[in-house]
Structure 1
């Protein structure tokens, strides 16, 4: 009996335990079922969204910066394909390298035939270090941060990007297309082209001046990526194509620019000048064919980014070239005719101020044309007896002195021309022969080109055309031209300038071509703060009988000083090259010379 009772109790306890276990299992199953229901019915969308977001990548599509070309289509500046190497730090921290077995080379990892030895961000850093030529510890630090996007290195070549792809780090490290700015013949244009900053934005020169046109519009692509970093087909949710920047074509001819740069360097060595500047301008359309200086600055360099082209920024007193403007003013205001006769001593005192010519001579009988031919300061003052201060200022400004050239080149100086009311008794007369004001080579060239263009001043240009990303080319147009002096006045001044050229013909000439020119020499303030430096310049119109080009050369402190003796031969050298390159017909014989003596 007792045995039966004990057996019943044991059976009852077993049954109770089975029921208890069943209840517990039922409760667990109920909880799991409830969790599954919650996951599927309540949190399903959030979970799926989170999974999608973890796979979704927004990749910027970089627009390429437009090119800068010369007038012949030669590329001067362009952006070449480069890559920005980026990584997913979170994926890098979970990385476990796969040991190479000889049968899994397409997915394994090793360094110089040896296992990586570590895992996580350190392993990724070790694999990348030699390929990117970077310190492994620094790379490891960059990969140990929070987030899914970090830039490791910019401006990587396509070859390096392909080497990274061979490391089997898909989904962890990849390359995004970018570009690098490179320049052809970098010393030829130097600071005139300028450069861009680390973000590809123009900061100087033409790169800055035309930055808006050269800069494209970046795009974007949003898609889901697989475990290997590849795009999952059909998952693109947003795609905006990048629009490249426009190409900008200059008016400058690189052949001429090269030759001008060459002769400036030779002149600097020959005459021992501190620097040289030259401008070549076409008469018909005022386009700048060459704009060069003797400085050795590479486009895109720090010097180019921080500085400006000397040919643009340097200002100086033009000296006797300024007499061309005064002569044109005398004729246009009816003060004189070009054949008017003067008795000219070598010195003259007016209002307590004494003025001298550059050479000693007796009282000469010169016409107004002869005064220009002999470059007489005294003669210019004698001819200005009734030429008011207001008229002196008016014609300087009409010819562009002290006025912005309108080219828009960064760093260009407008020069210095004080108002007539501020002139003292000496300055009012020195402005007649190119002293007492400052100009730059572009202004001076366009003033002479106004005479070459029959008295009409045109807007200079250095941008020939712009071609957008769709290939549409728009030619650059300039503002309306302005008549400064009558055609006959311009012709008379040109005639007198040709006599000046003949005056220097023994050492400044181009065989077969007539030239109209004016030299200048001005004493200016030197580095010691005293009047100890000299500017020598020379502007020439060629051919004189059918003006095609104006060439201006400016030298600082050349040995030999006088513009006609130093800058003149340099200008003639450039002119000879122009005549040959552009196959300009030779000149007819001169038969209309205005008398210079009486």
Structure 2
């Protein structure tokens, strides 16, 4: 069969269809061009805003809290780099991270948190940030990094570390987990120690890489270090001795303050019981208070030297006066004031040496209350020290319209008034420094401060000589003696006040200064509520004074000013061998 030949028909160009398609395409291009022109030329702000929201970021520069140093530059508080573990719950769910059960169990084990707790924290897929644990060590951080759990990340931060631990805990204080001071120097000088982080504006790509640095938003401010007047060597010695005494006598608490009398610097300030500031889990606010400045006590007989100064200042007595204490007791307002035995007519020095309540009452009753209180204020009692320590108490000096004889008498031997260990130490420093009072400081000064003459120099020197007899034979503080050094001081034992009177608990106190020939150091030791048969200040507090003061004098290379027994024997032998003419 012969195939029929077919012819292909040429496509017909329909003019109106072609024109329509071309018009649509042209219109689309024109519309796109107009829209682009509108967005980029006429109204570009919205597009820029959306672009900036996707790419612009503000980065902060890392900042480290300032260090706290002792007077010799030894570190008492430093910040160390650590890592924080955090999660992005939205990413965790988006990438099915929770299906990696073994990795999550490993994470829970290394963090010490139940795996169920971790999974509950990331259960909400709408959240973008949640902490899993703060301040983990670098080794733990590296382990977590190797787990490669989607949605679990690390971020650098700093942790406060206290190399001296419980020795400086009450003084230096501590910070919370966010690096803010909550106790001690850390809190008092928080703004000074805190750095201001700087901010920079940058543009990042979708991978988080910085592609453009747009400049500084706010300048960073570096943190400042603080150098204290504390000598860590003396601080450690003082804490060890005080802790041993406190534990031996089963005391409720104890405090010690050591001052440089020449400039008012605090060389040591310790308390027991203490705590470890590196372990926040055991933090209890009541244990963190600095008892040397917050707790007040009736000073008992340690106030007597100040009352003698008041009598000298107001012309009631002279340094060589004789006071009649017979018959050893008297009644004032129905209450009895007495000594342990009748001392008769004695010198003012003997009154201090034997701690005679009768002698003090005889002097105080010849003064007006205003005269007594004025002297105490000049010594720094009843006023703030100005050091700015957290919770510092001013103590209590009674203010009355009318004073009875018994109130004036009991004030003269340290009852009815409360002071802090720091205030009492300052008062003894004034005596040691010839009546000059320097403003106290815990922060190292750039310049020597100017002292104020608050007591007549000769009166201060006279009372200092009287206080030296307390350490010698017949005194109440033989245990405070230091071989090779002349020491002056005063013991004090007061009953603890309770509702309606006084209880059966005592406070043993000793305050002293050395060397007497040229006093450099003043110290006060307070043993609160010692248990057992020994509770007098001369038994519980004086030995601590002797141990710490002896070490301090040697560490500070202060020359001995008293001959030892060996030197006296040698001098006697030499005198015996010299031929007489």
Interval containing the TM-score (normalised by the shorter chain): 0.7 to 0.9
Q: Give yes or no for contact 1:324–1:493 (8 Å, CA) kept in 2.
A: yes
Query: Which residue is 1:64 aligned to?
Result: 64
Query: Which residue is 2:119 aligned to?
Result: 137
Q: Does 1:356 align with 2:338?
A: yes
Shift of 1:382: 1.6
Q: Give yes or no for contact 1:191–1:303 (8 Å, CA) kept in 2.
A: no
SS in 1 for 2:179: coil
Q: Does 1:315 align with 2:296?
A: yes
Aligned-residue Cα RMSD (Å) equals: 3.3
Q: TM-score, normalised by structure 2?
A: 0.84
Q: Give yes or no for contact 2:238–2:548 (8 Å, CA) kept in 1.
A: yes
Query: Which residue is 2:422 aligned to?
Result: 442
Question: Map of 1:247-286 to 2, 5 A cutoff?
Answer: 247-286=225-264
Consecutive unaligned residues in structure 1, runs of 5 or more: 1-6, 95-118, 466-474, 591-598
CA 1:70 to 1:341, structure 2 compared with 1: closer, same or farther past 3 Å? same
1:334-385 C-alpha deviation (Å, 9 max, x unpaired): 111111012223212345442011x223x42311111111110001112234
Question: Map of 1:493-512 to 2, 5 A cutoff?
Answer: 493-502=463-472, 503-504=475-476, 506-512=478-484
Shift of 1:228: 3.3
1:384-441 C-alpha deviation (Å, 9 max, x unpaired): 3421111111111111221112111111111111114254432221111111111110
Q: Does 1:568 align with 2:542?
A: yes
Distance 2:249 2:139 in 1: 49
CA 1:305 to 1:351, structure 2 compared with 1: closer, same or farther past 3 Å? closer
Match of 1:208 among 187, 191, 197: 187
Query: Which residue is 2:573 aligned to?
Result: none
Q: Does 1:396 align with 2:370?
A: no
Shift of 1:166: 6.1
Question: Map of 1:34-113 to 2, 5 A cutoff?
Answer: 34-44=30-40, 45=44, 46-47=46-47, 49-84=49-84
Match of 2:386 among 391, 403, 406: 406
Q: Give yes or no for contact 1:202–1:211 (8 Å, CA) kept in 2.
A: yes
Distance 2:133 2:200 in 1: 21
1:220-275 C-alpha deviation (Å, 9 max, x unpaired): 1221223432222x333435453231101111111111111111111122222222
1:485-542 C-alpha deviation (Å, 9 max, x unpaired): 1111011000000011112464331111110110001112259985221111001111
CA 1:490 to 1:512, structure 2 compared with 1: closer, same or farther past 3 Å? same
Shift of 1:61: 2.2
Query: Which residue is 2:310 aligned to?
Result: 329
CA 1:506 to 1:557, structure 2 compared with 1: closer, same or farther past 3 Å? same
Match of 1:228 among 201, 207, 210: 207
Match of 1:380 among 360, 363, 379: 360
Q: Give yes or no for contact 1:406–1:459 (8 Å, CA) kept in 2.
A: yes
Question: Map of 1:462-541 to 2, 5 A cutoff?
Answer: 462-464=442-444, 475=446, 480-502=450-472, 503-504=475-476, 506-525=478-497, 530-541=502-513
SS in 1 for 2:523: strand
SS in 1 for 2:401: helix
Distance 1:395 1:538 in 2: 21
Match of 2:221 among 232, 235, 243: 243
Q: Does 1:26 align with 2:22?
A: yes
Distance 2:215 2:563 in 1: 76
Distance 1:213 1:462 in 2: 15
Q: Give yes or no for contact 1:124–1:140 (8 Å, CA) kept in 2.
A: no
Shift of 1:484: 1.9
SS in 2 for 1:66: coil
Distance 2:143 2:206 in 1: 20
Shift of 1:15: 5.0
SS in 2 for 1:585: coil
Query: Which residue is 2:571 aligned to?
Result: none
Q: TM-score, normalised by structure 1?
A: 0.81
CA 1:240 to 1:535, structure 2 compared with 1: closer, same or farther past 3 Å? same
CA 1:495 to 1:523, structure 2 compared with 1: closer, same or farther past 3 Å? same
SS in 2 for 1:57: strand
Q: How many residues align?
A: 540
